[in-house]
Amino acid sequence: MALDNVKCNVSNCRYWEQEHCTASAIEVNVDDGGNRADRFEKTNCRTFEDQ
């Protein structure tokens, strides 16, 4: 079951299903640590798992 309103464009993730995330939860972190990012390019999804 896909998470409502969680869009994903990483088609090689095991949780990817037609541009939506099917993981039971997601974790997004700041690339360099901490809890603030200047822009979206500085964030990443830790839920990603390669197929």
Confidence of residue 40 (pLDDT cuts 50, 70, 90): confident
Q: What percent of the chain has pLDDT over 90?
A: 49
Question: What does the pLDDT read at residue 4?
Answer: 79
Question: What does the pLDDT read at residue 32?
Answer: 86
Question: What does the pLDDT read at residue 1?
Answer: 73
Q: Which of 51, 50, 45 is nearest to 25 (CA)?
A: 45
Domain that holds residue 49: 1-51
All residues at 6 or more sequence positions from 38 whose CB lies less than 8 Å from its CB, including other chains: none
Q: What is the mean pLDDT of residues 19-47?
A: 91
Q: Yes or no: say if 29 and 44 are a contact pair by the CB < 8 Å rule.
A: yes
- The pLDDT mean for the chain works out to 90
Q: What is the number of structural domains in the chain? A: 1
